[in-house]
Amino acid sequence: MKFMKLGSKPDSFQTENNVWYVASELATDMVINIGNARFYLHKFPLLSKSARLQKLVASTNEGVGNGDEIDIHDIPGGPAAFEICAKFCYGMTVTLNAYNVVNARCAAEYLEMHETMEKGNLIYKIDVFLSSSIFRSWKDSIIVLQTTKSVMMLSEELKLVSHCVDAIACKVSTDVSKVDWSYTYNRKKLPEENNNHMLNGGIRSMTVPADWWVEDLAELELDLYKRVLVSIKNKGLVHGEVIGEALKAFASRRLPGFNKGVIPSGDTMKTKSIVDAIVRLLPSEKGSVPCSFLLKLLKMAMLVDLGEIGEMELVKRIGQQLEEASVQDLLIRAKDGEPTIYDVKTVQKIVEEFMVRDQVRNGEFEVDGNEIQEVRRSTGGILSEASKLMVAKLVDSYLAEIAKDPNLPLSMFTDLAETVSGFSRPAHDGIYRAIDMYLKAHPGISKSDRKRICRLMDCKKLSVEACMHAVQNERLPLRVVVQVLFFEQVRAAASSGSSTPDLPKAIKDLNSASHGSSRSTTTNTEEEWDAVATADELRALRGELASLRLERNGSHAKSPLAEKGPVHKVKGLLATKRILTKIWSSKGGTAENSETDSSGSGSGNHPDDVKPTSTPSRRGRHSVS
């Protein structure tokens, strides 16, 4: 810390019970009252350097006893600052440092201790000390800026605040190669410092990080911090990522419950002011602030009711880098009074912002000519598809978490899932897990809703492990279980080299009944078809599949899992060609793996004629375990 000593005479000031006096043979001839403090002093040394005291003495009537008595209760810095000025007038030794120099400077200004009164007066000496020492020191500049808070108005008039802010901003903007660790004072000791390896000149042989200053500035009060950071940003020499680190450090320092998403009791307004300031100070560059930090900031903004403008600003920023988020980050608690546990609507908005970003990127491709157009598509396409896949997996995992909420409406679940349904992903295990979680938490869901939610997944894209789970899942409609079994057999046939897989026996014999079923019969069959599969039906279907595998391996032994009774029931459910077609049709309504009958009535074809027209594509059978 820098300091400056003024005067050479010994300090003869004495104090007792808020009374100051000078130990001298000469009697004092004036009294100065500052609050509860009384100073018994001599006129000559003070009036020779202070124009204000000269005016006050001249306008004061003659006092009684000790002469003139003057009240200056409004002097900046109070008795301590006046004591420094008085000792300077007496020529006594006084020490100025970063903690008292601002109050001393303001008090000297109040007393009008200018050069016109005497050369080398106090104001001049303090200004030299500030410019030559204080503002050149990183630590002292921060301390001085903090001390201006108690005398802010006069400090602003004297430009002490602006000089401090500019000094700090200039040091932050200095090239890192020219910075040594003596600038900082609030950091933890680095391990390599224990070795005491030093270079010539005493500078440590280590690389200074670009964010060396962020913790030091976090000590500043909010208003001062904003001014410093705005000045740093305006200089344009500090990268956005470093500004982001500074905001993270400030949030951690000033918001004790930030990482946990809680507000300390009684600090709502203070927290709201800090959150609002951080949102306004966020750098404009995408990726300059981690997505996890933005989501924590959004949670705090919603807790303190920051307002729609601030919250939407955060939603847009999060949507621009949603692929970086984690499921835990997205679990935003719903506000009091909401029926659901989590705020799904806000996450829906974030995902929609991500979609808007993708649309904007696609629109940019149309600006230039054909050649540049193709280059841009090939360059940005890979990254775009990777981001989409990451977001799709993120949403699947998020759906699996919120599905456990018994009060979550199906519409919220499906709306969010359908937002990313257009994103191609090699496996649908994630959305299957989310669907299963929802069905488990909502056992009373209707058949139509059960059918609706199951349409969100593509059975062809389930991994082997997911298929094994699905065929034993009694919460799924029978329709879905049969589809899973069929496409699992398609995959098995493809792996064995067969171009067209054989249908399971239970499915081949489904059309043994008459095709001329009535409308009411079809309706009843549809209802049973959408019903939840029973344990017996699941065992029967697994048994037929096991029998087919044994036959494929050259064995004619019957699987012990095959049970005749439930198989006949499954056959009855699939009595019409219209229902059979739905078994292996894609979830979008197109029959990729079977012939479709647009009329929906019996055509008289033999059941064996109803078979897939082509082997499903490799991409359709690909799975990621």
Closest CA to 319 of 288, 342, 291, 359: 291
What is the rounded (10 degree) CA torsion for 429, 435, 440, 445? -160
User: What pLDDT is recorded for position 382?
Assistant: 37
Of residues 533 and 494, more confidence is placed in 494
Of residues 376 and 462, more confidence is placed in 462
Q: Is the dihedral of CA 491, 497, 499, 503 positive or negative?
A: negative
User: What pLDDT is recorded for position 581?
Assistant: 47
User: What pLDDT is recorded for position 305?
Assistant: 92
CA distance 505 to 448: 29
**Amino acid letter at 608?**
D
Are the C-beta atoms of 209 and 187 separated by less than 8 Å?
A: no
Lowest mean pLDDT among 39-43, 254-258, 262-266: 262-266
Distance of CA 19 to the CA centre of its chain: 57
- Give the CA count within 13 Å in the CB-facing half-sphere of 125: 22
DSSP 377-422: HHHHHHHHHHHHHHHHHHHHHHHHHHTT-TT--HHHHHHHHHHTTT
Q: What is the mean pLDDT of residues 467-494?
A: 86
User: What pLDDT is recorded for position 180?
Assistant: 75
User: What pLDDT is recorded for position 278?
Assistant: 97
Q: What is the mean pLDDT of residues 232-236?
A: 95
In 513-600, DSSP assigns E strands to none
User: What pLDDT is recorded for position 303?
Assistant: 92
Q: How many CB atoms lie within 10 A of CB 282?
A: 19
User: What pLDDT is recorded for position 98?
Assistant: 96
Class of the CATH-defined domain 3-132: alpha beta
Of residues 553 and 458, more confidence is placed in 458
User: What pLDDT is recorded for position 385?
Assistant: 86
Q: Tell me the β-bridge partners of 34.
A: 37
Q: Maximum Cα–Cα distance for the chain, whole Å?
A: 132
- Give the CA count within 13 Å in the CB-facing half-sphere of 458: 21
Q: Would the pLDDT of 534 be above 50?
A: yes
Lowest mean pLDDT among 316-330, 450-464, 535-549: 535-549
Please name the residue that has the structure tokens 């079994």: 485
Q: What is the mean pLDDT of residues 464-478?
A: 90
Lowest mean pLDDT among 41-55, 101-115, 393-407, 524-538: 524-538
What 3-state DSSP class applies to 586?
A: coil
What whole-number percentage of the chain has pLDDT above 70?
70
Mean of pLDDT over the chain: 79
State residue 105 phi and psi, 5-degree precision: -65, -40
Q: How confident is the model at residue 113 (pLDDT cuts 50, 70, 90)?
A: very high
Q: Would the pLDDT of 361 be above 80?
A: no
Q: Model confidence over 306-359: pLDDT tens digits?
A: 999 999 999 999 999 999 999 999 999 998 889 999 999 999 999 999 988 766
- pTM for the predicted model, two decimal places: 0.75
* Tokens, residue 588: 């979008």
Q: Would the pLDDT of 607 be above 80?
A: no
Instruction: Looking at 5-66, list the stretches that DSSP marks H as alpha helix, in order from N- to C-terminal side.
Output: 43-47, 51-58
User: What pLDDT is recorded for position 367?
Assistant: 43
Q: Would the pLDDT of 515 be above 70?
A: no
Q: What is the mean pLDDT of residues 92-118?
A: 97
| Percent of residues in the chain assigned helix, strand, coil, to nearest 5 | 55, 5, 40
Lowest mean pLDDT among 56-60, 129-133, 294-298: 56-60
Please write down the long-range contacts of 230-234, taking CB distance under 8 Å and 24 or more positions apart. Answer: 230/281, 231/165, 231/166, 231/168, 231/169, 232/169, 232/172, 232/173, 233/281, 233/283
Are the C-beta atoms of 240 and 284 separated by less than 8 Å?
A: yes
DSSP 153-190: HHHHHTTHHHHHHHHHHHHHTS-GGG--GGG--SSPPP
Lowest mean pLDDT among 44-58, 294-308, 510-524, 576-590: 510-524
Q: How confident is the model at residue 60 (pLDDT cuts 50, 70, 90)?
A: confident
Q: Model confidence over 177-226: pLDDT tens digits?
A: 888 766 555 555 555 545 544 444 444 456 789 999 999 999 999 999 99
User: What pLDDT is recorded for position 226?
Assistant: 97
Q: What is the mean pLDDT of residues 225-242?
A: 96
Q: How confident is the model at residue 414 (pLDDT cuts 50, 70, 90)?
A: very high
CA distance 64 to 371: 98
Q: How confident is the model at residue 535 (pLDDT cuts 50, 70, 90)?
A: low
State residue 15 phi and psi, 5-degree precision: -135, 145
User: What pLDDT is recorded for position 488?
Assistant: 80
Of residues 174 and 267, more confidence is placed in 174
Closest CA to 393 of 422, 420, 354, 359: 420
User: What pLDDT is recorded for position 348?
Assistant: 97
